[in-house]
Chain A
Amino acid sequence: MRLSVVVTGVVLAAVGSSVAMVAHQVGLFDGPAKTKMYVVYSAEAQDVAAGKRSVLELRFRVVNGFHVNSHTPKSELLIPTTIALQPAAGVKTEAAVYPAGMAYSLSASPSEKLDVYTGDFTVKLPVVAEAGAHTIDGTLKYQACDHAACYPPRSLPVQVMFTAK
């Protein structure tokens, strides 16, 4: 009996901590309004060659169980995933290069094919930067769904930090 209480406690504590971990991941960029996020950004410092065209990688992860439209969804009614970047001194950017999406369809409507990102996806950003440390601010706009519901469009703040040497 005592053992079962302890084991239950440990299992529930583990469940509780994993739930808290997911909540933390989802809420990484939460504002004061506690807006739910379905995509997280992995901010990694990168090095590029100064004065030469280089490609930065912006890594994102769609929270498990959700999907977002790719940059080129199959319907004009669907909201594409896009990134908008602000100008940064000493940095010239080219248009972001988005990965191809994967085919997806809801079980209740198998004939309608969607083009989505799930799990990890990387947006590539070609830049030419002057020597030094740089930060490009931007926003990833996306609209997420799961197997049965959709969630209003969201904006995820992004900071791309890199050093040109």
Chain B
Amino acid sequence: MVVGIALLLWAGWHNLRERRLAMQKAQESRVVLTPSQGDQGDQSDSDEPHLRGKAAPAFTLTTLDGKKVSLSDYKGRAVLVNFWATWCGPCKIEMPWFEEFEKQYAAQGFEILGVADDVDAGKDAIAKVAQKTGVTYPILLADGKVEKAYGGIDVLPMSFYVDRNGVVVEQTAGLGSKDEIEAHIKKALASGATATATAAGGQ
């Protein structure tokens, strides 16, 4: 009888221990997935640095026809800085859309700067693609520094929507829909306008 009770107690203790170990193992196997900061809906790689909410890095680059262009030249206007390359198919799909939007929103102060991220291709090839896609906005030649300043540009196309105050309000990697692009343009225009109005009101 005593032996039986002892056996039952031992079996109960053994079961409890096994269950605790199993629970411990399950807890160890549990992986908590947390979204990276503020990139929900973004198509970029998770390790891509985000400039959203930060001042757009300043740059001065050369256009295809040899002129110097600085981002600071566009102060007070909303600017789309679009990195692309001649070998990038998705880039060439959205470039005509950008051209269309630039015409549509120019009166509201919207500008586009295309940055060709494959200088090795040569000016002629870059110009040929720009012409074929119908682009008339300035095409600048990347200098190696601007890519680093904008986070390394390891995905193309990559776009930065900068508001009138020089702050990046949206950053996208990869081809988005036309509607998404237009929404980002409107956001850049509205963001700067609000800030400008607030600043003016406070004076």
Are B29 and A13 in touch, CB under 8 angstroms? Answer: yes
By a CB distance below 8 angstroms, the chain A residues around B174 are 146, 148-149
Could you mark each residue 84-121 of chain B with 1 if its beta carbon is under 8 Å from any beta carbon of chain A, else 0? 01111111110000000000000000000000010001
Could you mark each residue 1-40 of chain B with 1 if its beta carbon is under 8 Å from any beta carbon of chain A, else 0? 0000000000000000000001100110111010000000
B107–chain A nearest beta-carbon distance, Å = 28
Question: Contacts A5-B26, A106-B93; is A77 near B31 (CB within 8 Å)?
Answer: no
Could you mark each residue 24-68 of chain B with 1 if its beta carbon is under 8 Å from any beta carbon of chain A, else 0? 001101110100000000010100000000000000000000000
Are B155 and A149 in touch, CB under 8 angstroms? Answer: yes
Are B154 and A13 in touch, CB under 8 angstroms? Answer: no
Q: Is there a chain B Cβ closer than 8 Å to A64's Cβ?
A: no
By a CB distance below 8 angstroms, the chain A residues around B190 are none
Q: Is there a chain B Cβ closer than 8 Å to A12's Cβ?
A: yes
By a CB distance below 8 angstroms, the chain A residues around B69 are none
By a CB distance below 8 angstroms, the chain A residues around B155 are 149-151
Q: Pick 29 A–B contacts, CB within 8 A, sort by A.
A: A5-B26, A5-B30, A8-B30, A9-B27, A13-B29, A16-B31, A77-B87, A77-B129, A106-B89, A108-B90, A109-B93, A114-B89, A143-B87, A145-B90, A146-B174, A149-B43, A149-B90, A149-B173, A149-B174, A150-B85, A150-B87, A150-B88, A150-B89, A150-B90, A150-B91, A150-B156, A152-B154, A152-B156, A153-B87
Using a CB–CB cutoff of 8 Å, the interface residues on chain B facing chain A are: 22-23, 26-27, 29-31, 33, 43, 45, 85-93, 117, 121, 125, 128-129, 154-157, 173-175
